[in-house]
Structure 1
Amino acid sequence: MVRPPTWMRWLGPPLLLGTWVLFLSPVVLAVRERDWMAHVRDSGLGVGGALVGWFILAVLLVVIPPAIKVLLTYRTVLDAGGVDPPLGRARVDLGEVRKIRWVPQGGPVNAANRPERFEVISEQSGLVARVARGEADWGATQAVLRHWARQRPEIVEDEPTAAALAGGSIDS
């Protein structure tokens, strides 16, 4: 199972909720004062600045609650029969998987933030799972993908992926 890091699941929701409450304070002030410009009246921003501020505030007040929900419910499950992709997308059975690809760590820019990972690609949906070393039990992920490769050898198309699944230099 792939989930956001534990620290993010524990710290993210309270911080986002606190931010949401903080952003709600201008709304409360405007309702109490019965003045939609109460929070910027003496700032010199004027009507245009107040309108831009209210727009940004409205967007954030609408976006933060779903962000908390995604943070708490996001998960990808790989099992012997296929993949349960994140965010309520339909399950992809092993028969629908077209390719497993191993991507080594690094890249031309910002290599530290691009850990080695396996990507699962399906016929209809494209990329349905991306499992990085730090996001899941790496050994269990490799075991599931090895099982898939034994069931359907054609989904492993390249040598680096075959070596990674065979327990080459990347296996820990």
Structure 2
Amino acid sequence: MGDAPVLIPDAGPWITLAYADGLDLLLKPGWPVAMVDMVLEELTRSQTPTSQQIGAWVKDQCIPVWSTEVCRRAAGRRQRNVGEMAIQETMQGLAMEDPPRRGVFLFEDHKIARATFLLPPGCLKVTTRAFLLFQERGGWLDSAVAIERLAIEAGRQFSRLRFPLGFPPD
């Protein structure tokens, strides 16, 4: 597993999978999963339909929560895009390791697809939909559409974004 990419979801995929009762899907490829501190803060600082479920799952699965300078500096303040900035900091850290590690940034926000979200070589940004289709093709999931439907039926406004076409990582 030494060359396996680290899966680092933004807030959107955590929420969508929680609505679909599918957080365990993050573990299906067998890659390490990490939570970035600022994303955990965003997901759990307020009571939402999924905040307790996500916090408990991260704890129960012993998902590591990686500290970032972005979170330390943003402590107690609500700012836009800080979760994404913390993920970008984390991905840069992976690239600086010796040897460099690969990361897969899981997201749903259309702004991330259009914006210049810089990732180091070997790291990818992938939508929740592409990740679910990857699992379906890999035989870990019967139907990506069924997971989407569960999330939507539970009240999630699931993104229609499809990106990238070249997933999974080699």
TM-score range (shorter-chain normalised) is under 0.3
Greater CA radius of gyration, 1 or 2? 1
Q: Give TM-score, length-normalised by structure 2.
A: 0.24
